[in-house]
Amino acid sequence: MKNFMLIFRGPSPADLNWTPEQGQANMQKWFNWIGELSAKGHYVGGDPLVPEGKIVKGKKPVATDGPFAEGKELLGGYIIVKAESLAAATELAFGFPDFDINGSVEVREVMKIPMHP
């Protein structure tokens, strides 16, 4: 088994202007997905990211407010899952609840750095 990081992008929840009922419905979809990943032993852990942040870049680096307004693709959080292969991890990503609101998942294997070469 290897560890994979599932990285979530999508619109900022604040822009969706959900009603309480819609918010609850979306949350339930997340519970169902994460619950299923847990029950099947895939789920290792994960964290959401606070929407506001800073970006530091440039040859003479400056800090600007980010993520940016074009942030329909805001980085929202990640989870780590255990899976046999990239294909198997990708299969798990199909359960992601936010495809209907233009969310996306990037699936990446977490590299193990060997202690002894």
Q: Which residues bind another protein (CB under 8 A)?
A: 13-14, 18-24, 26-28, 30-32, 34-36, 38-39, 41, 43-48, 50, 77, 79-80
- Are residues 103 and 11 in contact, defined by beta-carbon separation less than 8 angstroms? yes
Report, in Å, the least distance between residue 103 CB and another protein. 12
- Are residues 16 and 102 in contact, defined by beta-carbon separation less than 8 angstroms? no
Complex with another protein: residue 30 or 63, whichever CB lies closer: 30
- Are residues 33 and 42 in contact, defined by beta-carbon separation less than 8 angstroms? no
Complex with another protein: residue 15 or 63, whichever CB lies closer: 15
Where is 6: in which H helix or E strand?
strand 2-10
Report, in Å, the least distance between residue 111 CB and another protein. 17
Distance separating alpha carbons of residues 69 and 35, to the nearest angstrom: 32
Complex with another protein: residue 32 or 85, whichever CB lies closer: 32
Report, in Å, the least distance between residue 64 CB and another protein. 23
Could you give the count of Cα atoms lying within 13 Å of 6 in the half-sphere of its Cβ?
A: 28
Report, in Å, the least distance between residue 63 CB and another protein. 23
